[in-house]
Structure 1
Amino acid sequence: MKKKMDLLNDQNFIPIFIDMYRELPCLWQVKHPFYKNKTKRKAALDQLLEFVKLGIPTADIPYLKALIGGMRSTYNRERKMVQDSKRSGAAADDIYVPRLWYYDRLHFLAGQTEPRPALSSLPSRLPSTSAEASHV
């Protein structure tokens, strides 16, 4: 039986896991009709969990979510480093090369992050300057 952290380095497990994850777009594609449907997402997670349990019988949904979250955040961090190195005007030889061995397999996640709504610190309505000018 493998330790939980060993799965991310398992050259046999990760490619299959990523392929299964890709085939369940309700878990990663923000524009998918079932992305916000908890029942459909739970069914998809259960499907992935059955595969994960083959390697780690004690795995549960929170572990699976942590595994997915870790892979996604690592991919996004590596992707940002690649993009930043391209934007900096670096020579082709100086462009960052991702160290994550399964980076290319996760390219389907590119552009799938949902930006958080921006919070403005400005008041919703600015005071009128014409009223201030008439008091002078």
Structure 2
Amino acid sequence: MSREFIEGFISVYRENPCLWQIKCKEYTNENLKARAYDNLVTYCKSNGYSNVNRDFVMKKIENLRGCFRKEMRKVESSKTTGTGSDDI
């Protein structure tokens, strides 16, 4: 997957706070979430991925969130090791 695809996927994901913002009142609205997932599926299909479904999108989101958490742990652990701010 190209960098442009991932950046676009993340931007569409961020436009739908019902998928990621827990304190948002729409977070519990299943119909709104279904439409948001459909938006992501449509985005994927419009970029050349023909066999995309909701499961693919959910796995992609979990993958991105996992990578983010992994990188955050690396940054946090480098802060506690006593390295300089240039090495973070």
Q: TM-score, normalised by structure 1?
A: 0.60
Instruction: Map 1:120-131 onto structure 2 (within 5 A).
Output: none
CA distance in 2, matches of 1:38, 1:80: 31
1:82 aligned to 2:75?
Answer: yes
Q: 2:38 aligns with which of 39, 42, 46?
A: 46
Q: 2:28 aligns with which of 36, 56, 76?
A: 36
Q: Residue 61 of structure 2 aligns to a residue in which SS?
A: helix
Matched residue pairs, number?
87
The residue aligned with 1:4 is none
Q: Residue 90 of structure 1 aligns to a residue in which SS?
A: coil
Please identify the structure whose Cα radius of gyration is greater: 1
Instruction: Map 1:50-65 onto structure 2 (within 5 A).
Output: 50-54=42-46, 55-65=48-58
Structure in which a larger fraction of residues adopt helix? 2
User: What's the CA shift for 1:24?
Assistant: 0.6
Taking every aligned residue pair, what percent have the same amino acid on both sides? 34
Specify every segment of 5 or more residues in structure 1 that has no aligned partner in the other structure, as ranges. 1-6, 96-136
Q: TM-score, normalised by structure 2?
A: 0.90
1:14 aligned to 2:10?
Answer: no
Greater RCO structure (CA 8 Å; 6+ sep) = 1
